[in-house]
Amino acid sequence: MNFNVRLKQLRQKNKLTQGELAAILGLKPTAISNYESERNEPSFDKLIALSKHFDVTCDYLLGVTDSYLPVGGEVLDKDIVEFFDLYQQLTPENVNEIKKYIKYLLYKQANSL
């Protein structure tokens, strides 16, 4: 996946307009539009600012990897990334429900051995 697609997905996922994201980064309102339409590319400084704002790696933004963050020097596998993507879409109430269900599954697993 290319940078322009990743940027647009992250922006939309965070419910930001192009203008709002540009303002956060100290850019002109058209800058994000130009990034997303591949008319322009960010400087290294802006790429780093984007990765920090969205809490992802530059490698993820650039499409080098599908993993958001390296963990302990290792890259998260696709199942964990997929789970994380789904988890981030949940409401706080549903996060609590999924935690309860995971605890139940772990209890069930421990007692079935």
List the chain pLDDT tens, one digit each, 113 residues. 689 999 999 999 889 999 999 999 999 989 999 999 999 999 999 999 999 999 888 988 998 877 665 555 555 566 777 787 788 788 989 999 999 999 999 999 999 86
- List the domain range (segments joined by +) for residue 90: 77-113
Pair 5, 59 in one domain? yes
Pair 12, 56 in one domain? yes
- pTM comes to 0.61
Question: Token pair for residue 111?
Answer: 């007692």
Question: Token pair for residue 90?
Answer: 């949940």
CA dist 2 and 7 (Å) reads 9
Pair 57, 109 in one domain? no
